[in-house]
Structure 1
Amino acid sequence: MSNLSTRASAAEGGEAPPRTQPARLAPPLAFIGASSAGFGLALLLVRTSWGWPWLAVLALGLGVALMVYGLRRPLPTPLPTPAPPADPPAEPEGAASRPATTLAAPTVITTTNSPRIVAIGGGTGMPQLLRGLRAYTDHITAIVTVADDGGSSGRLRRQMGVLPPGDFRNNIAALSQAEELMTRLFQYRFADSDVDGNSSELAGHSFGNLFITTMAAVTGSFERGLAESSRVLAVRGRVLPSTLEYVTLCAEVCFTRPDGSDEWRVVEGESNITEAGGRIMRVFLKPDAPPAYPEVIRAILQADLIVAGPGSFFTSVMPNLLVPAIRAAICAAPAPRIYLCNVATQRGETDDYTVSDHMRQLRYHAGDAFTTVLANHNYDPARPPASRTDWVLLPPADEQIPYRLFTGDVVDEAQPWRHSSNKLAARLIEVYAELRAG
């Protein structure tokens, strides 16, 4: 009866009650809670003289409470009720009738038909791609390596027993729609020394790494922590680990002795491989057949487009492809598969590599997973992009190549050793459209 009365009064010109939109979550409160919990976790890690246990426990407990409250509590938001349209002015008597004017409906841009893109990689290269792809689709799944063992990620991996969060942090930030201040906070890195100039236990740690680690501890799993972190930062898409297994990246590296002969060594640890100084001949994982994260396989098989790279070839892109189930899923997927070749070589990893060298190693490690490549053609071989690096050269016109090659101007003019986010994404979508049409 009350509902009928309300509707009747509104129809008679009375003021209708304010409407409310469906309940939504409160990411800012959850972010504050995670920040507090991260601070408490940091105190437990550093054990400084001012980081008394009770203060760490208090910050951690308060943070957890705020996170749970912020992530679960609905916040109804009033929506204004539009005023009824005014009556049209009366036509003067005797005036000729005029045809009704039809107004064109506004164009509504949706992403319901946007491609489902799976991007495989890690490091600093893949975020460049993700920033550009956001203009074309919301259906992005970033599959990230878990082999990182250096810097802040490596320390948290050893001390807390979590998967390395650094590459996940970079890609979450790249896909985030959160305010700039929140993204800057997520990427903030602590100074190397404290206010007294002494070495700090927080040196080199990124706040985002502590945030994800705290989320993993609070939610009970790393993958759940990633999902909640992504929700707090309003991520467009998903960031998933290639595997939940604790893996170590290893490499067979060839060194040249003073007498000119070759010496082969096995180097263990992602951070040690590029510092070894030899030629990387093969990379592999320990254990050699880790199980893939199931959601990754589902995303690959349902994708409209699968890309690998850009990024450190052996230490960021390849570890994902060394997971057997991921490699098999890529080969079985009906979607176009494109390798995004780096624009410049990487010292200690791909010295003197050409596009064909990348594709040769890709085939050796991953079989037929990627037989199409998009490479940069905007370069001057006589002018290197930066010191101690060179352009990744295209194959000569007379070279018989066992892969399909697409090229484009995808270089960042300000930082020519990197891709331009906008150029790379635009050219990739063009190639995708061409492959679909063909």
Structure 2
Amino acid sequence: MRKIAPFKRFLFFSSSRWFVPGMGLKRWLLLLGVGTAVASLGLVNLLFLLERQSWLPISVYDLLTLQFLPAPWQIVLPLLLGGMLIVWAVLRLGRALTAPFQIPDDSVAERIYEHSRRRRGPNIVAIGGGTGMPGLLRGLTDYTRNITAIVTVADDGGSSGRLRREFGLLPPGDFRNNIAALSRDEALMTQVLQYRFGAAIGENGHSPLQGHAFGNLLLAALTGITGSFDEALLAAERVLALRGKVLPSTLADVALAADILLPDGTFQRVVGESKIPEVNGRIQQISLQPSNVRAYPAALQAIFQADLIVMGPGSLYTSILPNLLVPDLVEALLHARAPKIYICNLATQPGETDNYSVADHVATLFQHIPTGCLDLVIANDNLSIPPDRGGGNTIYVQLTPPDHLPMVTADLVDEARPWRHDGAKLAQAVMRLLS
């Protein structure tokens, strides 16, 4: 097969993108052509007027109107030449205007095509928090920009807990993770937002910044500037050019409580999201304190407008269920037209889901929410990766199917870190459900 030179191949594919349906460009090129034709009609009438008034020498008039050519060419040649000049000017103008924002080795047409395709992508709502959901969001950005992450506000540990106690903020940690996943320059912004300050250099080696993630401090600063946490999220969306939205499930100051069955057969009530996994027992029930909080209105709107609603992946008790304990949000899920799917974790989580199967995960969900809030479960079926790969000790969730709920399985595992989902595989499985 004859090879095409890289430059010619680049020009071909770059040019062909301009003609893909739905780009939103051809209509404006047509309008430009019509406008040029109307302006040209005025120029022609001006030439006729100058010739009739004898203000223009006949030789100049014949030259300008191509009288020296056969009649068909007097029409075809200006159309061809004028059309080529218009297209060339538009291409050069587009390149000049987008040059400051251009990524090397990426054509303007390709960028516009990808932007148009993702802008017309499905509305997907992801509900959860923690470290599981950002991988899904990263994968989904290859297909759509219409992504809304609804995140729990029950976190009370680490940097988030300190900021929550000291400044009265909603815990920013889970929001930071998902904002990083949706940012345009995701690789760099993840490093920036996740950067944690270390110990200070000095005699005592301690600093008030020690342990804080930069992204948490950024959201704290934006909250102080804008006056509220939800406005801070909107500001972060603009500043970081997010490819979606990150919203809280509620703006209320809530705490997560759990009733835990201890090994000796007694029950213990634990309050605080970070304390729950530390208790040596089996979680029986969780709840919010207070329980009658109102959902964030924008989150409800996103649920009603969604084409698909995804719960997870993430910690079952401390990332997913805290959102589903908000009464208004559960009511919205019951009446939403979109399919509602649960992405089961790859591995059990110590202190939360020890020895849980897929059926156990789903049964726990239905213990806390109505069955109408869930239509399908997705689970990983690749259990062949060695559990100790990546330095971990992965205990896979067994594929016991849930009762009265369809289960779809696929290879979803990140082979380097088998306790986590591969974002690209997971997003592809989710998009297959839509298609």
TM over 0.5: yes
Q: Do the aligned partners of 1:242 and 1:292 also contact (CA within 8 Å) in 2? A: yes
The corresponding residue for 2:231 is 224
The whole-number CA distance in structure 1 between the counterparts of 2:268 and 2:69 is 93
Give, in angstroms, the shift of residue 235 of structure 1. 0.5
The corresponding residue for 1:347 is 350
**Which stretch has the larger CA shift, 180-189 or 164-173?**
180-189
The whole-number CA distance in structure 1 between the counterparts of 2:301 and 2:215 is 27
Q: Do the aligned partners of 1:242 and 1:293 also contact (CA within 8 Å) in 2? A: yes
The corresponding residue for 1:406 is 408
Give, in angstroms, the shift of residue 201 of structure 1. 2.0
Give, in angstroms, the shift of residue 231 of structure 1. 1.0
What amino acid is aligned across from residue 346 of structure 2 in structure 1? V
The corresponding residue for 1:293 is 296
Higher Cα Rg, which structure: 2
Pick the aligned partner of 1:365 from 365, 368, 374: 368
Pick the aligned partner of 2:431 from 398, 407, 429: 429
1:375 matches 2:379: yes
**Counterparts in 2 of 1:383 and 1:326: CA distance versus 1, 3 Å:** same
Give, in angstroms, the shift of residue 182 of structure 1. 4.5
1:391 matches 2:393: no
The whole-number CA distance in structure 1 between the counterparts of 2:381 and 2:188 is 36
The whole-number CA distance in structure 2 between the counterparts of 1:241 and 1:178 is 23
> Percent same amino acid at aligned positions?
50
The corresponding residue for 2:165 is 158
Give, in angstroms, the shift of residue 277 of structure 1. 1.8
Q: Do the aligned partners of 1:244 and 1:292 also contact (CA within 8 Å) in 2? A: yes
The corresponding residue for 1:188 is 195
CA RMSD after TM alignment: 3.1
**Counterparts in 2 of 1:179 and 1:422: CA distance versus 1, 3 Å:** closer
What amino acid is aligned across from residue 344 of structure 2 in structure 1? C
- Length-normalised TM-score, structure 2: 0.72
Q: Do the aligned partners of 1:126 and 1:310 also contact (CA within 8 Å) in 2? A: yes
What amino acid is aligned across from residue 406 of structure 1 in structure 2? V
The corresponding residue for 1:418 is 420
The corresponding residue for 1:73 is none
The whole-number CA distance in structure 2 between the counterparts of 1:307 and 1:404 is 15
1:131 matches 2:138: yes
Give, in angstroms, the shift of residue 113 of structure 1. 3.0
The corresponding residue for 1:148 is 155
**Counterparts in 2 of 1:183 and 1:285: CA distance versus 1, 3 Å:** same
Higher fraction of helix: 2
Q: Do the aligned partners of 1:119 and 1:142 also contact (CA within 8 Å) in 2? A: yes
The whole-number CA distance in structure 1 between the counterparts of 2:322 and 2:387 is 32
Give, in angstroms, the shift of residue 370 of structure 1. 1.5
Pick the aligned partner of 2:273 from 263, 266, 270: 270
The whole-number CA distance in structure 1 between the counterparts of 2:430 and 2:317 is 22
- Length-normalised TM-score, structure 1: 0.72
Structure 2: give runs of 5+ residues left out of the alignment: 1-38, 44-67, 85-108
What amino acid is aligned across from residue 329 of structure 2 in structure 1? I
What amino acid is aligned across from residue 225 of structure 1 in structure 2? A
The whole-number CA distance in structure 2 between the counterparts of 1:281 and 1:150 is 22
- Structure 1 segments of 4 or more deviating over 3 A? 98-103, 106-109, 178-183, 192-197, 380-389
Structure 1: give runs of 5+ residues left out of the alignment: 1-7, 13-89, 434-438
Give, in angstroms, the shift of residue 216 of structure 1. 0.6
* Secondary structure of residue in 2 paired with 1:271: coil
1:266-288 C-alpha deviation (Å, 9 max, x unpaired): 00000000111211111100001
Q: Do the aligned partners of 2:121 and 2:144 also contact (CA within 8 Å) in 1? A: yes
Give, in angstroms, the shift of residue 196 of structure 1. 4.2
The whole-number CA distance in structure 1 between the counterparts of 2:294 and 2:319 is 18
